[in-house]
Amino acid sequence: MIKKLVVIPILFILISLAGIKYLIPLDKSVHKEIRKEDVLRIESWGAKVIGHTEIKDPVLFDNIIKWFNNSYDIRENPEFAGTTPEAGIIIILKSGKGISILEGARDFEVQRNDIRDKNISYFAKQKDIGKYLDDLR
């Protein structure tokens, strides 16, 4: 009888903790703004450039962060579906994590590993990023 009184509350606590761990990531938005202070560097690549090119122009650097933060029409892409990109932007954070912005047929795809315990992918829109990626192709 005493065993039941101890086991049942412990099971309840364990099940509750497992549920919380499962539900918390579902509540987090996949698109999270970034701060300039958190960015180590930004690189771009595409058919018009050989290899990765670091963005050194401070205005473009600031604009890419602003454009990214103003992205809209966010749609999660759990299967990482999409086309092979011809151009992209890589934002390397000081934490060692990264954000890839990849050109797509209609929108751009974002892949990042700084929000959840695993890599995530989502589609987004923002006209200036779209134009910048088009210019890299």
This prediction has a pTM of 0.77
| Sign of the torsion angle spanned by Cα atoms 53, 59, 60, 65 | positive
Instruction: List domains and CATH numbers for the chain.
Output: 32-136 (3.30.1490)
Q: What is the pLDDT of residues 76-107, one digit of tens each?
A: 988 877 677 899 999 999 999 999 999 987 78
Q: What is the pLDDT of residue 49?
A: 78
Within 13 A of 22's CA, how many CA atoms are on the CB side? 6
